[in-house]
C-alpha cells in the first residue's frame, strides 16, 4: 500500500516585494534590496520603527516621519524621489539581507523602470546588497547620465553607524533631486 502526501503548502520564507513608488518628475531612484519583515507585513517601505530612512527624509526635506504613510510617499514624489527594491522575490528567513538565499533571487524590472523614467539621473543604493545585486544581475542600458552612490543601510541592523553619519552620507543623494 502506498501513501501519497498532500502537496506542500506555500513556502512561508518565499517573499514578494512591494511595487515601485514613482511620480512623473522622478530624478532620484532609491533602491533597497528587499523589504524587511515588518515592511512586508504592513506593505510599507521602511516600516520598522528603528529604520532610519524616514528620519533621514524628515531631516533633509522636513517631511514629518510621523505623518501617514501616504503623506510620506507623496512628499517623496513631490521631491522627485522614487523607491523600489532590486529584488522582487526571494527566499529569506527573518529580515536580514545576509539570510537571503542567493539562488532564490528574482530581480525587479529596474531597466524597464529607468526606460520609463528618463528624468532619473541618480540611483542611491540603500546598503551594499542592493548595489551588488544591481551590478551583477540587472541588465540595463548603461546610461552615462546616471550617477550612482552606495549609501549606508538605514536598517536597524546597521547599528554600528551613528544616525548623524548616515544622514551626512544620505543627504547629498536625496538633495540630488532638487
Please give the grid coordinates belonging to residue 86.
532590486
DSSP 8-state class, residue 99: G
Q: Which residues are catalytic?
A: 51
Question: Phi-psi region for residue 101, left (φ > 0), alpha (ψ -120 to 50) or beta?
Answer: beta
Joined grid coordinates for residue 57: 527624509
For residues 45 and 83, the answer to whether their CB atoms sit within 8 Å is yes
Cell readout for 140 is 540595463
- Distance set, CA 129 to CA 69, 93, 97 (Å): 25, 16, 7
Amino acid at each position: 500500500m502506498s501513501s501519497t502526501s498532500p502537496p506542500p503548502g506555500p513556502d512561508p520564507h518565499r517573499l514578494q516585494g512591494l511595487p515601485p513608488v514613482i511620480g512623473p518628475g522622478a530624478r532620484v531612484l532609491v533602491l533597497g534590496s528587499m523589504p524587511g519583515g515588518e515592511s512586508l507585513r504592513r506593505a510599507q517601505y521602511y516600516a520598522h520603527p528603528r529604520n532610519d530612512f524616514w528620519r533621514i527624509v524628515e531631516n533633509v526635506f522636513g517631511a514629518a516621519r510621523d505623518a501617514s504613510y501616504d503623506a510620506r510617499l507623496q512628499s517623496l514624489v513631490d521631491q522627485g524621489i522614487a523607491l523600489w527594491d532590486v529584488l522582487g522575490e526571494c527566499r529569506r528567513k527573518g529580515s536580514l539581507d545576509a539570510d537571503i538565499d542567493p539562488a532564490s533571487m528574482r530581480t525587479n524590472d529596474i531597466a524597464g523602470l529607468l526606460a520609463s523614467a528618463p528624468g532619473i539621473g541618480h540611483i542611491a543604493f540603500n546598503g551594499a546588497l542592493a548595489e551588488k545585486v544591481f551590478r551583477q544581475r540587472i541588465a540595463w542600458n548603461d546610461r552615462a547620465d546616471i550617477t550612482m552612490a552606495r549609501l549606508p543601510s538605514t536598517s536597524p541592523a546597521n547599528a554600528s553607524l551613528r544616525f548623524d553619519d548616515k544622514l551626512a552620507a544620505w543627504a547629498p543623494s536625496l538633495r540630488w533631486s532638487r
